[in-house]
Amino acid sequence: MLVRNTKNDILEHVAIIMDGNGRWAQNKGRPRLFGHQAGARRVREIVESCPELGIKYLTIFAFSTENWKRTQLEVSGLMKLFKRYIYKETQPLIEAGVRVRFIGDRLRLEPSLVNLMDQLEELTEKNSAVNLTIAINYGGRDEVTRAAKRMAKDVLNGELIVDSIDEETLPKYLDTHVLPDPGLVIRTSGEARISNFLLWQSAYAEYEFIDTLWPDFTKINMVNSSEAIVKLNDLDGKKTQVINDCEITLLPANHGIPACGIRVKSNNKSYIFSGDSADCPEFWDYVNNDSALEGLIVECSYPESLHELALLTMHLSVTNIKERTINLPQNVKKVIVHRKPGFEKKIQDELELSNIENLYFPDNGSKISF
């Protein structure tokens, strides 16, 4: 993604048409909603990168007025996803100093979703680090139509004189009336269409159409689309791959959504990460048969008293960790991660009372050397 115009001036306002979620999922043999979930996760990274790139305003196209034509299953899933996004991201957005606004026609949206949108706008109204505008049930033509109706109403009420109307008048009635016009509009997925997005506001904007599907869009694209800082290696279908003298092996996992463990081997030493997973005998077979193992990073979400909940949510409990790691060599570092909030100390206390050696319980930001 380019963030500077041809004069190398930092762009203040960037707008993005987030396209390609469905194709991204279909390419992986997954339902379209899986792609929308991945796309929602991508938004956080892009928002977080804005301050260092000098982007003060970011506008994203989440759901258009034309999207109602999609299947009822997909539309219903998207509405639930919007609610889940607001629930999950409210606190991180507040802490990051992000001000959130929503544009689009709210009349067709569920009242419960509108309430959440209103609350998020109110909770973030004093923030100023980044201005994030989310377009939901938005269409450029619909926006101009609604603006024209409001303007006509003011004329009828005598609040606006017809002869005073010029090209500066209409923008005051648009959903974006408090925002500057975007200097750059980006569309992912390779489609070279503007799809009824910010028609009035983008009259003088530069357009960038890139082939990357939205879930694969990264901060790296935003810095410089011509020079790769990180090369992404797709391990799908490849059990083991050698990258820069490191042998990377995907390991089996047992979780409610697609997941995997990872083994990294270099200089005859290996390190294994469980990822999110319930008890998975095939994974532990790899762990126990790895003679080069130096470190195990493994999830433990719940204490022993909540073992049944761990089974239900497809995570590991202290019971699993005790059973599976007790026979590992003492020199292997066992790093316990993914402890659910509120249970961190109880999990640590229970495991420290066991006979397991070399246990580590990192906090956010902790560093453990291997």
Query: pLDDT tens digit string along 282-318?
Result: 999 999 999 999 999 999 999 999 999 999 989 999 9
Predicted local distance difference test score (pLDDT) of residue 232 = 64
DSSP state of 289: T
Q: 336-369 burial by CB neighbour count: b if 16+ within 10 A, else e?
A: bbbbbeebeebbbebbeeeebeeeebeeeeeeee
- pLDDT category, 242, cuts 50, 70, 90? confident
pLDDT of 7 reads: 39
Q: Are 271 and 247 in contact (CB under 8 A)?
A: no
Q: Does the pLDDT of residue 15 top 70, yes or no?
A: yes
Please state the rounded mean pLDDT for residues 177-197: 93
- Which residue in 158, 52, 57 sits closest to 98, CA to CA? 57
Mean pLDDT (whole number) for 72-85: 95
- pLDDT at residue 228 above 50? no
CATH 3.40.1180.10 domain extents, the chain: 13-223
User: CA distances (Å), 38 to each of 34, 253, 358, in order?
Assistant: 6, 19, 36
Residue 145 has phi, psi (to 5 degrees) of: -60, -45
- In whole angstroms, give the CA distance from residue 88 to residue 78: 15
CATH architecture classification, 240-360: 4-Layer Sandwich (3.60)
This prediction has a pTM of 0.61
Average pLDDT over residues 216-220: 76
Question: Kindly report the CA angle at 293 between 365 and 298, in degrees rounded to 5?
Answer: 45
Give 230's pLDDT tier (boundaries 50, 70, 90).
low
pLDDT for 96: 95
- Alpha-carbon span 17 to 162, nearest angstrom: 35
Q: What is the dihedral of CA 319, 256, 44, 271, to 10 degrees?
A: 50
Q: Residue 281 corresponds to which tokens in the numbers above?
A: 């005998």
Tell me whether strands 130-138 and 98-103 are parallel, antiparallel or unpaired.
Answer: parallel
Q: Cα separation of 132 and 120, whole Å?
A: 11
* Cβ proximity of 299 and 338 under 8 Å: yes
Confidence class for position 10, pLDDT limits 50, 70, 90: low
pLDDT at 30 over 60: yes
Q: What is the mean pLDDT of the chain?
A: 90
Which residues of the chain does CATH 3.60.15.10 include? 240-360
Strands of 359-360's sheet, edge to edge? 240-243, 246-251, 261-266, 269-273, 293-299, 333-337, 359-360
Residue-level length of the chain? 370
Q: Which of 359, 368, 297 is nearest to 350 (CA)?
A: 359
Tell the residue number behind the tokens 């560093």, with chain if given: 367
Q: Is 112 left (phi over 0), alpha (psi -120 to 50) or beta?
A: alpha
The alpha-carbon radius of gyration of the chain (Å, integer) is 25
Contact 83, 102 (CB under 8 A): no
Q: Which pLDDT does position 238 carry in this prediction? A: 61
Q: Does residue 146 have a pLDDT over 80?
A: yes
Q: Find the range with the poorest average confidence among 126-135, 153-162, 255-264.
A: 255-264
From the CB of residue 212, how many other CB atoms can be counted at a distance below 10 Å?
18
Higher pLDDT among residues 84 and 370, named by residue: 84
Q: What percent of the chain has pLDDT over 70?
A: 92
Percentage of residues of the chain with pLDDT beyond 90: 77
- 12: closest CA among 47, 53, 48? 53
List, by residue number, the catalytic residues.
19, 67
- In CATH terms, the superfamily for domain 13-223 is Decaprenyl diphosphate synthase-like (3.40.1180.10)
